Structure 1
Amino acid sequence: MTRDEAEQVLAQAGQTTDEAFPLFEAALACAVHEDPERPLEPAREMAAAAVARLAGRLDRESPEEAIAEALAGDLRLNGDFLTYEDPDNADIIALADRRKGLPVLLGVMYLHAARGCQLPVNGVDFPGHFLLRIETGEGPMALDPFSEGRIVLPSELQRRALRAGLTPDYADRLDALMAPVSDRQVLIRLQNNIFARAQQRADWVRAERSALRRALLDPHDHRPWLDVAAAREGQGALAGALQALTRAQILDGGAATAARAARERVRLRLN
């Protein structure tokens, strides 16, 4: 798969409904878009093994135990505590080799396995640390893919929420803390993560690619185009930045003020 072909896959994924969103294939296309010079078979084999291992355990274990044992135990997927900032921690092709990554990348594999076994698992856009929500006979439970899929108790969720800066009244609302998000939003969160790290390093080429992937995955959102513009401006590609800002304005009139100010600044630099 070439980078152009990866963009086509992402554009097609962007046109699907949330229910039909192809999470693993879109994540694979994101990784190819970042670095196309790698074989895809190891990642596909890992994904197939995740589904098979989980299916084999569900007959004798509870769903929450089975998914943790299959992904963290059998496949050895775990959080990267030592080199957390390594860009490979956000890349699903690299995950097949390293078996470690960021919470949201690991979550993609958990969700792929769950979808393959019809398990009711969803991502949770928890502040500062991505989690999973699994529906059980005792109610919803939170799982942490970064820590071997272990269960996160409500009291710990509340402590984490307070540490993340949420107000006490919000931190007490478990329904809000565990609100599920779509698979599309899970993958967009991963791309946001890549963008933020690239921006911190002033790696504007990587930042532009990650922002463009967000724009393809959610073609109705104007915000990725603002980030594309910022990344292009960082590279000195002012005409391209102006095009991205115009795209943002077209998509959402609510962005017009911010985009117009940015366009004017870039236009003056062009002159």
Structure 2
Amino acid sequence: MRSKRAVILEQLQAVSLTDDASFDIGEAALLLAAFDHPGTALAPYRTHLSALADDARHATTRLASVGVQVMALQRVLLTRHGYSAGEADPASWGDVDLIDTIDRRQGQAATLGILYVHAARAYGAAIEVLNFPQSFLVRLTARGQRVIIDPVDVRRTLDAGDLRRRLKLLQGQAAEVNAAHYEAISDREALFRLYNGLKISAIAAGTLPRALDILEALRVLVPARSELWWETGVLLSRLGNVSTAISTLEAYLSAAAPASGRDQIEDLLKRLRARAP
């Protein structure tokens, strides 16, 4: 009988195999959160996500102005379903527990942003996550207009001055906004960045088993990223599981033809084999 973790990984793999246009950010975020909630039934959360999508479809359309769409999304998320933001703190953007956010109807930029994107995608909105550092900002486009929204403060939109001030707060007074910060990233990439941040925090805290768990989920979400497999080998070896590290990396190289990073992985394998008993 398969473990619940194996079932979640299998379901996450099914989501990850879809192309970016069909990628379901709500379902993927729910499955990623499920790793920290063993035994929690996901059906009620999927029902809630479906309700958000249905309500958004009834509230507005992609043909409405950006102002009308923003107000409709506010009514759905804030008024009808009672969501609110925790204390606005740029450093807390990486809070990614969607299950906890749905339970409490309160979250930070990442989970609230995921819910806004999920609801807006339901009616075909042109909404995208921006490539802005340490922030989960979304841009909504309609009828020749664009607005940038911070999910923790959706009652106002952000202009160039707001973004400049935010960047300086995050990276220092010398930082300046450039064109790259206005570029869109895929929903999949947004989730990868969030969970990669969790992995980095786990490594910094010395909780390597936790980091390995996150890496396992990330390898399913974005299997083509060879650096995730290299990091897995390194962490396994640091925990003394050299044989497992070797077999994991060998299996990856035999099953895939990484576009980059192969030499780095083969070099790590060479060093691990020299250490193997």
When the two structures are superposed, what TM-score results if normalisation uses the length of structure 2? 0.81
The residue aligned with 1:192 is 196
* From 49, 52, 59, the counterpart of 1:50: 52
| 3-state secondary structure, aligned to 1:147 | coil
| 3-state secondary structure, aligned to 2:51 | helix
State the AA in 1 paired with 2:193: R
Aligned-residue RMSD, C-alpha: 3.2
**Aligned pair 1:8/2:10, yes or no?**
yes
The residue aligned with 2:224 is 220
| 3-state secondary structure, aligned to 1:243 | helix
| 1:253 Cα deviation from its structure 2 partner | 5.7
Contact 2:88/2:108 (<8 A) preserved: no
Q: Which structure 1 residue ranges, 5 or more long, are not aligned? A: none
- Report 1:155-234 matches (<5 A): 155-165=161-171, 171-173=177-179, 176-234=180-238
Percentage of identical aligned residues = 23
Give CA deviations for 1:150-182 in whole Å, capped at 9, x if unaligned.
411121112323444499796143xx3221222
**Aligned pair 1:121/2:127, yes or no?**
yes
State the AA in 2 paired with 1:96: I
| 1:7 Cα deviation from its structure 2 partner | 1.2
Structure 1: distance between partners of 2:159 and 2:19:
32
Structure 1: distance between partners of 2:207 and 2:90:
17
Structure 1: distance between partners of 2:137 and 2:120:
14
Structure 1 runs, 4 residues or longer, greater than 6 Å off? 82-86, 166-170
State the number of aligned residues. 268
Residue range with higher mean Cα deviation, 12-21 or 32-41: 32-41
The residue aligned with 1:64 is 70
| 3-state secondary structure, aligned to 1:219 | coil
* From 255, 259, 263, the counterpart of 2:261: 255
Structure 1: distance between partners of 2:165 and 2:265:
38
Contact 2:90/2:170 (<8 A) preserved: no
The residue aligned with 1:270 is 276
**Aligned pair 1:25/2:13, yes or no?**
no
Contact 2:90/2:135 (<8 A) preserved: no
Give CA deviations for 1:24-70 in whole Å, capped at 9, x if unaligned.
22222222334331122332233133224434443896112222332
The residue aligned with 1:147 is 153
Give CA deviations for 1:77-136 in whole Å, capped at 9, x if unaligned.
3443399999x9422222211223342222221111111121111112310111111003
Give CA deviations for 1:199-233 in whole Å, capped at 9, x if unaligned.
22222222112212221122222122123223323
Q: 1:129 to 1:84 in 2, by over 3 A?
A: closer
Residue range with higher mean Cα deviation, 253-262 or 137-146: 253-262
* From 82, 91, 100, the counterpart of 2:97: 91
| 3-state secondary structure, aligned to 1:121 | strand
Residue range with higher mean Cα deviation, 205-214 or 144-153: 144-153
Q: Which structure 2 residue ranges, 5 or more long, are not aligned? A: none
Structure 2: distance between partners of 1:168 and 1:248:
43
Contact 1:72/1:149 (<8 A) preserved: no
Q: 1:177 to 1:85 in 2, by over 3 A?
A: closer
Contact 1:104/1:186 (<8 A) preserved: no
Q: 1:85 to 1:181 in 2, by over 3 A?
A: closer
